[in-house]
Chains A and B, each alone.
Chain A
Amino acid sequence: MLRFGPPILLILLTTSVASAQMPDEAAQRCTRRISNVLGIGYRASLTSLMGGTPQSKVRTWLESRDAIATFGGFVNSRFSSQPGANLAEEGIPSAVRFIMSNKKPWKELFTGRFTINHTNNIIMEDAAAPALGYFGSRGWQYRYLGNAPDGTLLSAAYRTMQNTIGLKLVPSAANGEGDASATGRERPECRGCHFDSPYGLDLVARLLPRKLGVGGAAKPQLVPVTPQTLFNGLQVRDHEHLLEVLTSSDAFRFRTCRLAFEFVYGRPESACEAPLFDRCMEAFTRTGMVQDALASYLEDPQYCEAVP
């Protein structure tokens, strides 16, 4: 026995070192899956396991610059109709980075007091800025000035609700007269979305700045606003109050958890996945952090087990 002792010991040591260096197949597969979703590089993720499980590293990976950049791009692609035409129109990914890197509540993306420099997208906290998140940035407001002849920011009103609570509206194909004026929007085929709905676009737009000027000279201009009755009877005072109402709602939390689900799974949740979704709602309601919404899915034991 003594004669075979040293080689056996050597084999055991070698095996032990090898297993410490290389996680098992399931851990590698799980790491590949999570790193693919987060866009953080599989090889580096594998190295960073350091003997831990992939799902125990989710929080760390979510803090990485690459994961935040990937999620920022994802959010931008869901909040905007297309990539921005210039740097000034690409404030959303920077704002997401600002919120996530500084561990701020997700709500502050839409209600935070900060400014975005439209020449370089550098974000600075500014206690004097209105509590409008990136909606208050010059780049975003110029992008969604829209084309209503009376200067109503209909496009911005829609994007505000689409971004925060996931509202989906489809422009009417029945606008045969081509009259997009305030009078034209009162027509029966238009007024459902513009005036009569609890989410009436024109009513919401009355709380926003207005477009002044035409063509390249057009710009957003703050104007006095009057309170509007929205969302089945709620009086909304102004732009800031509108965003506070939107981001204090279940609809906002639901939107955020669906957004996170789509990022993690590439599709919306099914009815049978409701318990998983409900756990996200619990986590996000408790902390208000989008990282917790994402982690509720990525850390779920089924997330990696479901891979064949």
Chain B
Amino acid sequence: MSLRVMLVLTMLLGCEGTIVVGPMDVTGPTAESTAQETPPIPPLPSVAVCMNASSGRGYLGLAGEPLEAGRADVAPLVDNHRSFRNNKDPNSPNWSVLTEIARSLGTNTTGDPEPTNAGVGAAFGVVPSGWYEESEVGAFAVYVTIQYATKVCERAFATTTPSLKSGWFEHTAFPPTAVRAEAFCDRTMRAAWLRAPNASELSACSELALTLDEPDVKKRWALVCASVFASPNFLAN
């Protein structure tokens, strides 16, 4: 696969997508005595502002400073995606992202060297033991994903076992048509992303299937399939 093809694939399916407990209690009175003797302390108002209004409770540090100060005023739960961490399965030599590509397609990784190759696994970043870093989905990680996904997709097309979820053979023996491309993309996206694609995602995938410059029909479908896995919709949760 040429670099140009990979770039096109990646671009087309790229990113769219109080308790204020009151005075400090160092000596630790019992819960019963506190409940009997101390009336509830009303929560402090927060100094943090959400959409021009105080949001949540206020909390004081040991020197009386407001701890919630500095919170960003942005809508809740909008920045939620985490990169797929390519953990090594503790019970096997497999790495999670690559293994999940095969699992999503209903095939397996038997005989594939990639899911057990520590170098390939490390494409997502190497974290020392007893440490933590966010997974890095950089250019090399995307490259590894698309290379391996292409291989697994091609294999899946040749399989008609009941475990295979998507019936790829219905589509991939023939050149793409608009109807066929949409059906193929819908099934592949659902298998990989675990949700239905929206109209623009479906349209981008179908367009790729119809315009990709790859004479080999099976390879062409495989590249479309792989692009779904190289998307942030798969590589971020």
Contacts and interface: CB of A to CB of B under 8 A. Distances in A.
Given A36-B237, A73-B130, A273-B76, A278 B57 contact: yes
Contacts of A267: 79
A70 B96 contact: no
Contacts of B50: 270-272, 274
A198 B91 contact: no
B167 interface: no
B67 A250 contact: yes
A88 B192 CA distance: 43
A212 interface: no
B132 A70 contact: yes
Size band of the A side of the interface? Answer: 35 or more
A254 interface: yes
A302 B131 contact: no
Q: Is chain A's binding surface mostly helix, strand, loop or mixed?
A: helix
B71 A270 contact: yes
Interface in B49-79: 49-51, 55-57, 59-64, 67-68, 71-77, 79
A139 interface: no
Contacts of A44: 91
B26 A245 contact: yes
Contacts of B134: 266
A111 B100 CA distance: 42
B140 to A, nearest CB: 20
Contact of A308 (B74, B79, B195): B195
A282 B35 CA distance: 16
Contact of B85 (A36, A43, A282): A36
B26 to A, nearest CB: 5
Contacts of A245: 24, 26, 62
Q: Is chain B's binding surface mostly helix, strand, loop or mixed?
A: loop
Contacts of B82: 33, 36-37, 265-266
A275 interface: yes
B41 to A, nearest CB: 11
Nearest to A268: B71
A306 interface: yes
Nearest to B62: A231
Interface residues of B, number: 60
A165 B61 CA distance: 8
Contacts of B159: none
Interface string A277-292: 1100110010000000
B18 A74 contact: no
A218 interface: no
A251 B61 contact: yes
A28 B194 contact: yes
A308 B131 contact: no
Interface in B67-109: 67-68, 71-77, 79-82, 84-85, 87, 89-91, 96, 99-100, 103
A276 interface: yes
Interface in A22-48: 25-26, 28-29, 32-33, 36-37, 39, 41-44
A83 B130 contact: yes
Nearest to B196: A25
A42 B71 CA distance: 32
Point out which of A28, A165, A277 has the most chain B C-beta atoms below 10 A from its C-beta.
A277
Contacts of B49: 271
B100 A39 contact: no
27 contacts: A25-B194, A33-B82, A33-B237, A39-B87, A41-B90, A41-B96, A43-B89, A76-B132, A77-B132, A90-B130, A234-B24, A241-B26, A245-B24, A245-B62, A248-B24, A248-B25, A250-B61, A251-B60, A251-B62, A270-B74, A271-B48, A271-B72, A272-B76, A275-B55, A278-B56, A285-B21, A308-B195
